[in-house]
Amino acid sequence: MGTTVGLTIAEVLDVLDVGVAVAGPDGRLAQVNRALPGLLGCSAAEVRPDVPVEELAAALADRGDHPAAAVLAWPPVEHPHQLRLAGGRSVQAVWHRLDAAWVLVVRDVTLQAQIRRRLREHNRALAEKVAEKTELVAALCHELRTPLTSTSTVLELLPDISGVPDLPDLLDVVRRNAARIGDVVTELSTLNALEQGAVALDVRPVDLGSLLADAVAAWNTRAAPAPPVTLSVDDPARLTITADPVWLESLAERLLSVAVASAGDTPVHVTARAAGDGWLVRVPLHEQLTSNRLFTATGGARTSTALMLARAVVARHGGTLRVASADGGGAVEVHLPKEAPHGPHR
pLDDT digits (tens, 9 = 90+) for 270-279: 999 888 888 8
Indicate the CATH number for domain 9-108: 3.30.450.20
- Span 94-121, average pLDDT: 88
| Strand ranges for 90-160 from DSSP E | 90-98, 101-108
Tell me how far apart the alpha carbons of residues 200 and 206 are, in angstroms, rounded to a whole number.
17
pLDDT at 135 over 60: yes
Is the pLDDT at 1 greater than 80, yes or no?
A: no
Q: Is the pLDDT of residue 297 over 60?
A: no
CATH class of 115-195: mainly alpha
> ω before 225 within 30° of 0 (cis)?
yes
Angle between helices 303-316 and 245-263 (to 10 degrees): 150
Which architecture characterizes domain 204-337 according to CATH? 2-Layer Sandwich (3.30)
Where are the CATH 3.30.565.10 domain residues in the chain? 204-337
Q: Which residues of the chain form CATH 3.30.450.20?
A: 9-108
Q: Among 93-102, 286-295, 309-318, which stretch is predicted with the lowest mean pLDDT? A: 286-295
Is the confidence at residue 300, as pLDDT, over 80? no
Q: Would you say residue 188 has pLDDT above 60?
A: yes
What's the pLDDT at 336?
A: 92
At residue 166, the pLDDT reads: 66
Put the strands of the sheet holding 320-326 in their side by side order: 229-233, 268-275, 278-285, 329-337, 320-326
- pLDDT tens-digit series, residues 317-338: 999 998 887 656 688 899 999 8
In the prediction, which pLDDT does 298 show? 44
**Of the given ranges (61-65, 217-221, 287-291), which has the lowest mean pLDDT?**
287-291
User: With the C-alpha atoms ordered 110, 114, 116, 117, is the resulting torsion angle positive or negative?
Assistant: positive
**With contact defined as beta carbons under 8 Å apart, do 219 and 185 qualify?**
no
Q: How far apart are CA 217 and CA 268, in angstroms?
A: 13
Mean pLDDT in residue range 127-147 = 72
The pTM assigned to this predicted structure is 0.55
Partners of 28 in beta bridges? 52
- In this prediction, residues 152-174 reach a mean pLDDT of 69
In order of 118, 136, 268, 292, the CA distances from 123 in angstroms are: 8, 20, 41, 26
User: How many angstroms separate the Cα of 165 from the Cα of each of 153, 162, 174?
Assistant: 20, 9, 16
Domain with CATH 1.10.287 in the chain: 115-195
- pLDDT confidence band for 216 (50 / 70 / 90): very high
- Proportion of the chain above pLDDT 90, given as a percent: 14
